[in-house]
Amino acid sequence: MILYLLRRALYAIPIALAVGFVCFMLVQIAPGDPINAIVPPDAPGDVVEQVRRDYGLDKPLPVQFGLWLLKVVQGDLGRSLATGRSVWSDLRTAIGNTLMLAVCASVLGFIVGCTLGGLAGTFRGTVLDRVATGIAVAGVSVPHYWLGMVMVVIFSVQLNWLPAMGAGPGGSSDWAWDWEHFQFLVLPTITLSVIPTGIVTRTVRGIVAEIMNQEFVTALRGKGLTRMRIFLHVVKNAAPNALAVIGLQLGYLMGGSILVETVFSWPGTGLLLNSAIFQRDLPVLQGTILVLAMFFVALNLIVDLIQAALDPRIKRA
Amino acid sequence: MTFRRSLLAACLALSAALVPGLVMAQGTIRIGMTAADIPLTHGQPDQGFEGNRFTGIPIYDSLTQWDLSAADRASVVIPSLAERWEVDPADQTRWTFHLRRGVKFHDGSDFTADTVVWNVNKVLDREAPQYDARQVGLTATRMPTLRRAEKVDDYTVRLITSEPDSLLPINLTNLFMASPVHWAALRAQHPTAEATWNAFAAAPSGTGPFRVTRFVPRERLELARFDGYWSTKAKADRLVLLPIPDASARTAALLSGQVDWIEAPSPDALGQLRSRSMTITQNLQPHVWPWQPCFVAGSPLADVRIRRALNLAIDRDGLKQLLGGLMVAPVGTVAPGHPWWGNPSFQIRTDKAAAARLLAEAGYGPQRRLTIKVQISASGSGQMQPLPMNEFIQQDLKPLGIDIEFDVVDWNTLFGNWRQGCQAASARGAHATNVSFAAMDPFFAMVRFWDSKMAPPTSNNWGFFNDPRFDAMIREARTTFDPVARDAALARLHAAGVDEALFIWIAHDVSPRAMTPRIRGYVQPQSWFVDLRLPYIQ
């Protein structure tokens, strides 16, 4: 197991390099000039060139990439061009906020998806199955930013039950797990959970349906086990695949919640990326994408390990 | 009666004790900004003029300032930390500024001539310990001729420019005075000047009417009234500034009571906001939303008849309706009544018959259609609603025989191209560009577009306009130091620019804001800025 862990950790190095390189090049070939994050567009040419030199943006691209990489391996993601703040300090706060949102959405999606998928798979062909499948299809089809806006209109603007935006009455730095703060999490969590709910529902339905057709279930029935005991056997067999799906969904939610975080002004990585893209803030963009990619790699590894622990049939060399 | 009063007072005191949040909220104004992040707080804000509005003027002062006290007249430059100033008649590159006495920074230190020299050096002297490259880009561009500052005595300072420039007092509204004493204290705790400025941004010290009490990067900035302010103190106890870049989120935040004031509500939301008794404010803003022509040979807009025809052809009333009333139909870069108006002979209005005649004179019409390509963005700061607005104009001009083609690029790209000019490959053959701009001071309103020396890459004369008459008028304005005579020279320049139709003037923004009716005392001047000392929560 230790060798396996080491090997997977080593795999992460070329992935990190590739992600860093691709991200760097994509930002470079995108239209626009990162100097616009620092100087106003109406700045005279000589001032622009002076600032470009001051920030090292006049150096050849390979040199810029090399310098950035050298700092990264020393644990320094650099400083934001726009604010001058350490990328890591902003990123650390943003990751914490996004992780909180993504975990809540994943847990909600997992619970609702497993429940709906389990029921649909167990009672195939019934009205219950059709309703659950309908919810799953809607979940993966409805644009979640649109859903977020609709929920804000209903629950914040019309009913005034829940806050429309932000991460707590005093910002995320004052976060506490009480209702005064938790209410800020409700709408973004529900919005973000819709897609994983749909995906988990469909996955679990398929797995449960398949397991229910297997011979061992017939044998369990023949032995006279109750429906509940049989259900527990089904759950145990379905869990590894369901966990794999939700694990990947957590990864997607970490990096893919740009729109939801923008709609709710949730100060996470999505909002950070959004503003960095518009400002051409290269260090923030590169640092955020790199850390999210590494997070995704780590998450895959954790999911693999949990799968192996839950299902001994999954052999790891 | 006494008993009843005592009972009432006791009830009020009890309420205040039981509901502390309510009491605090009476003096706290929460503002939803359009910025995606808190504008820089070290004294030279980014995020355009929204930055100056919220983290510049409230926290800091400059030597001169904009008069933001009235809504019904043009905002002009008035004294601030400098009480008066004069240029040396023998050498017009030397200015003497007489400073206000008794001004204190938030950290308790004194504002003196040394402060001014220190703040000039932070952006102009590369050898100064406090020099900050980041602030150069945000400041030096807005005071292009200032070269250095010299202390004369504790309350007198001399500023030197590279050439005679009567616009210097206007430019100096952009140089905010940070506290050198506070910076030096922080410098002792940080390894570099850059790190010190970052620490300074987290705990700033200016002389402005508000001091920073809490700064949460990317989330909120909390300001409290500075009771040691040298002039009229703020009425509100506190300001909370929240970056909410999405217009729908801002509107929802206002309607759900999370904020008291939002910048730039979406025109679509105005009906809903009004139906919930929100106050919508607007006023003419020195903001121009134009098509800036390319004047080089081969461009149809090199022909003044076509430029005038376009200015006459656009249905601005229809456009205003499209925007829910949130625009002013322009008649030039500045409006009549402004000191730089100048009463041009060409009247910008909607007169399609006159437009058709001019087009016919130029050889165009429904039988021989004119094609004009415009580079536009899909969104962007200050760009209002670029896609629907441009598409409206496209449809509007079609019956006159004008076919408008759009090259839609990212906002950042459009900005970058602005500095490269219409002859560069980045223009992709466009005959006009649609970059909106602030017209607060003469340099940014006119000089950078109409001075032949300002052609790319120097500045924003994107269309390579080159007319010696205009160069001479600009030279005259910049070397006329009597304010009244200078404004008269600028008025002649503006009138000539309108007569030559040097822009296709399409709309002026009105800086719409929506706020709860509990906000009182608010004045929306004809400016990009607001005096945040005036409003309070009832």
Q: Judge: A43–B448 Cβ closer than 8 Å, yes or no.
A: no
Q: CA A169, B265, B509, B526 torsion: positive or negative?
A: negative
Residues in contact with A235: Cβ distance below 8 Å, sequence separation at least 6, in sequence order: A118
Q: Say if A264 is an interface residue toward chain B (CB within 8 Å).
A: yes
Q: Judge whether B80 and B98 are in contact, CB under 8 Å.
A: no
Judging contacts by C-beta atoms under 8 Å, the chain B residues touching residue A165 are 244, 249, 252-253, 258
To the nearest whole percent, how much of chain A has pLDDT over 90? 18
Query: Across chain B, which distance is largest between two alpha carbons, in Å?
Result: 89
Q: Judge: A32–B416 Cβ closer than 8 Å, yes or no.
A: yes
User: What type of residue is B161?
Assistant: T
Q: Judge: B256–A157 Cβ closer than 8 Å, yes or no.
A: yes
The token pair that represents B354 in the structure block: 């006159």
User: What type of residue is B170?
Assistant: I
Judging contacts by C-beta atoms under 8 Å, the chain A residues touching residue B140 are 43, 47
Nearest by CB to A278, from B36, B138, B140: name it: B36
Q: Judge: A93–B249 Cβ closer than 8 Å, yes or no.
A: no
Nearest by CB to B198, from A33, A84, A94: name it: A84
Q: Say if B334 is an interface residue toward chain A (CB within 8 Å).
A: no
Cα A209 to Cα A214: distance, rounded to the nearest angstrom: 9
Q: How far is B37 from chain A (nearest CA, A)?
A: 8
Q: Judge whether B251 and B272 are in contact, CB under 8 Å.
A: yes
Average pLDDT for A42-61:
76
Q: Which residue of chain B comes nearest to A258, CA vs CA?
A: B246
Cα B374 to Cα B293: distance, rounded to the nearest angstrom: 9
Q: Which of B30, B219, B242 best tests the A interface by mutation, with the highest count of A CBs <10 A?
A: B219
Q: Judge: A82–B140 Cβ closer than 8 Å, yes or no.
A: no
Judging contacts by C-beta atoms under 8 Å, the chain B residues touching residue A149 are 248, 252
**Per DSSP, which regions of B146-209 are E strands?**
146-153, 156-161
Q: Judge: B459–A44 Cβ closer than 8 Å, yes or no.
A: yes
Q: Judge: A43–B458 Cβ closer than 8 Å, yes or no.
A: no
Residues in contact with B528: Cβ distance below 8 Å, sequence separation at least 6, in sequence order: B49, B52, B53, B285, B286, B287, B438, B440, B511
Residues in contact with B526: Cβ distance below 8 Å, sequence separation at least 6, in sequence order: B71, B73, B74, B75, B283, B284, B285, B286
Judging contacts by C-beta atoms under 8 Å, the chain B residues touching residue A274 are 36, 245
Q: Judge: A171–B219 Cβ closer than 8 Å, yes or no.
A: yes
Q: Say if B268 is an interface residue toward chain A (CB within 8 Å).
A: no
Cα A247 to Cα A11: distance, rounded to the nearest angstrom: 19
Coil vs helix vs strand at A307: helix
| C-alpha distance from residue B515 to each of B251, B255, B320 (Å) | 10, 9, 22
**Exposed e or buried b for every residue in B280-309, given b needs 16+ CB within 10 A?**
bbbbbbbbbbbbbbbbbeebbbbbbbbbbb
Q: Judge: B243–A265 Cβ closer than 8 Å, yes or no.
A: yes
| C-alpha distance from residue B165 to each of A44, A47, B64, B170 (Å) | 17, 19, 16, 10
pLDDT given for residue B80 in this prediction: 97
Cα A124 to Cα A112: distance, rounded to the nearest angstrom: 18
Backbone angles phi, psi at B374, to 5 degrees: -125, 130
* Interface subset of B 441-460, CB within 8 angstroms of A: 444, 448, 456-460
The token pair that represents B235 in the structure block: 């009425």
Q: Which of A28, A33, A42 best tests the B interface by mutation, with the highest count of B CBs <10 A?
A: A42
Judging contacts by C-beta atoms under 8 Å, the chain A residues touching residue B142 are 40
The token pair that represents B488 in the structure block: 């008269």
Dihedral angle of Cα A195, A197, A199, A201, to the nearest 10 degrees: -160
Q: Spell out, as residue ranges, where chain B has pLDDT lower than 70.
A: 1-26
CA-based nearest residue to B286, from B95, B527, B108 = B527
Q: Cα A194–B257–B210 angle (5° rounding)? A: 120
Q: How far is A167 from chain B (nearest CA, A)?
A: 9
DSSP-derived letter for residue A35 is: G
Residues in contact with A83: Cβ distance below 8 Å, sequence separation at least 6, in sequence order: A90, B37, B40, B46, B201, B217
Higher pLDDT, B394 or A222: B394
pLDDT given for residue A317 in this prediction: 46
Nearest by CB to A42, from B249, B258, B459: name it: B459
DSSP state letters, B204-246? ---SSSEEEEEEETTTEEEEEE-TT-SSSPPSSSEEEEEE---
Higher pLDDT, A64 or B103: B103
Q: Judge: A51–B133 Cβ closer than 8 Å, yes or no.
A: yes
The helix, strand and coil proportions of chain B, stated in percent and rounded to the nearest 5, come to: 35, 20, 45
Judging contacts by C-beta atoms under 8 Å, the chain A residues touching residue B413 are 31-32
DSSP-derived letter for residue A174 is: G
Coil vs helix vs strand at B418: helix
Q: Judge: A84–B244 Cβ closer than 8 Å, yes or no.
A: no
Residue at token pair 């939801």: A260
Q: Judge: A84–B218 Cβ closer than 8 Å, yes or no.
A: no
Nearest by CB to B37, from A170, A173, A275: name it: A275
User: What type of residue is A115?
Assistant: T
Q: Judge: A47–B137 Cβ closer than 8 Å, yes or no.
A: yes
Residues in contact with A314: Cβ distance below 8 Å, sequence separation at least 6, in sequence order: A240, A307, A308
pLDDT given for residue A41 in this prediction: 61
* Interface subset of B 45-84, CB within 8 angstroms of A: 46, 48
Model pLDDT for residues B194-214, shown as the tens digit of each residue: 899 999 999 999 999 999 999
H-run or E-run covering B438:
strand B437-438
Q: Which residue of chain B comes nearest to A33, CA vs CA?
A: B416
Cα A313 to Cα B8: distance, rounded to the nearest angstrom: 77
Cα B468 to Cα A301: distance, rounded to the nearest angstrom: 70
According to DSSP, the β-strands at B82-87 and B156-161 are unpaired
Coil vs helix vs strand at A144: helix
Q: Judge whether B262 and B35 are in contact, CB under 8 Å.
A: no
Q: How far is B326 from chain A (nearest CA, A)?
A: 23
Cα B206 to Cα B108: distance, rounded to the nearest angstrom: 10
Q: Judge whether B110 and B207 are in contact, CB under 8 Å.
A: no
Cα A95 to Cα A109: distance, rounded to the nearest angstrom: 20
Cα A11 to Cα A23: distance, rounded to the nearest angstrom: 18
pLDDT given for residue B18 in this prediction: 41
Coil vs helix vs strand at B537: strand
Model pLDDT for residues A253-301, shown as the tens digit of each residue: 876 678 888 889 899 998 898 888 877 788 888 888 888 888 887 877 7
Query: What length does chain B have?
Result: 538
Cα A266 to Cα A166: distance, rounded to the nearest angstrom: 5
Residues in contact with A69: Cβ distance below 8 Å, sequence separation at least 6, in sequence order: A17, A20
Average pLDDT for A187-207:
91
pTM check: above 0.90: no
* Interface subset of A 19-78, CB within 8 angstroms of B: 31-33, 35-36, 38-48, 50-51, 54-55
Q: Judge: A45–B245 Cβ closer than 8 Å, yes or no.
A: no
Burial of A97 (0-12, 13-18, 19+ CB in 10 A): buried
**Per DSSP, which regions of B100-171 are E strands?**
146-153, 156-161
CA terminus-to-terminus distance, chain B: 27
Rg over alpha carbons for chain A, rounded to the nearest Å, is 24
Q: Which residue of chain B comes nearest to A160, CA vs CA?
A: B256
Burial of B378 (0-12, 13-18, 19+ CB in 10 A): middle
pLDDT given for residue A276 in this prediction: 85
Nearest by CB to B136, from A51, A262, A271: name it: A51
Q: Judge whether B159 and B97 are in contact, CB under 8 Å.
A: yes
Q: How far is A274 from chain B (nearest CA, A)?
A: 9
Beta bridge partners of B405: B373
Judging contacts by C-beta atoms under 8 Å, the chain A residues touching residue B437 are 42
* Interface subset of A 166-185, CB within 8 angstroms of B: 166-167, 170-173
Judging contacts by C-beta atoms under 8 Å, the chain A residues touching residue B410 are 31-32
Q: Which residue of chain B comes nearest to A97, CA vs CA?
A: B219
Q: Which of A157, A161, A279, A284 best tests the B interface by mutation, with the highest count of B CBs <10 A?
A: A157
Q: Say if B260 is an interface residue toward chain A (CB within 8 Å).
A: no
Taking 90 as the threshold, does the pLDDT of residue A246 lie above it? no
CA-based nearest residue to A291, from A53, A79, A87 = A87
The token pair that represents A133 in the structure block: 């499948």
